[in-house]
Structure 1
Amino acid sequence: MTVRSIVKFPNPLLRAVAQPVELFDDDLQALASDLIDTMRAAPGIGITAPHIGILKRLVVIQLPSAAKPAIYVNPSVVQASTEMIRHEEGSVSMPGVTDDIERHARIRVRYQDLDGNERFEDAEGLLAVCHQHEIDQLDGLFWTHRLTRLKRDRLIKRYGKLIRAS
């Protein structure tokens, strides 16, 4: 469909809470398709509607090992392991910088498909990290806020240097 413009850090839209999707129609299908194209062009392995300025609870994830992208409407974590893992994270809204974030190693996600049917998915490792990262984004929690203040300040400074250099 269409590659959309990505909202860049520190745009306040990245801190806004996305609203639940209530209409499962052709517009939602088109938005999901645009998110897939935009994620691939970025490039990235996950993206939300807020990343393109639309405050709807819609997520697309495609891990490198996946044959096709997965679409999650109104996702939420309903179970999480006590075991934690650290993984390098970044964002299509803040390209060029990454840092390690601690997340639950295994989770269960409840979501709806594009037809509005309720589904569940168990995830571990990178997929669990991606789900938590993108659901945080839907909740208005940008990934850098999972860092300590010192690490976040250093990362933002590094990002500023990258932007000025480009």
Structure 2
Amino acid sequence: MLLLAGTSEAGKSSAGEYLAALGARRVKIRTVLVRLTSGRQAYHEGMETREDFGYDEFVSKLLELPDDGETPLAVESFIDAALATTVKRTWPAPCAIIFITAPELVRIRRLAQTRGLTADEAQRIIRRKDERKRVHEQIPAWRAIADHWVDNTADIITFRARLREAFQTIQTSSGGIQP
């Protein structure tokens, strides 16, 4: 399994799309979190979910996803380093964390171009997202646990090459088999 994390607007969704094109089963973290919504509500990973759900519950919900037994899973977009650490440690097959980042100016330029925004509008969106997700305060934790640190500053070919390398690593270590 590959866990995708990163700074806001750095390319996590693009990474998920590309990994799916390579053959991974792409799952947005929201799909799993929706299964944890009974009980008192709390904000987690960009959505309302149950307060104080156990990380082991999250892993159980991942294991309940439909599975063909051979296709590696790519889960995007983790914002909680502790949750990612628990998933990696308890997952019953090889698991790697990919952290995707790019300098803020690159992210601003790309978001502005993609959505037709001014640079100021894009900057406000990115900074609000990074703050809400506590991205910068967790960078040291992500550096400590990430198996692949992908700087998405360069061109798409370089970005995809790094993702393909991570995908091949997980396939080689697991033989392509996932629980």
Query: Normalising by the residue count of structure 2, what TM-score does the alignment of the two structures yield?
Result: 0.28
Give the structure with the larger strand fraction: 1
Greater relative contact order structure (CA < 8 Å, 6+ sep): 2
Higher helix share: 2
TM-score, length-scaled by structure 1: 0.29
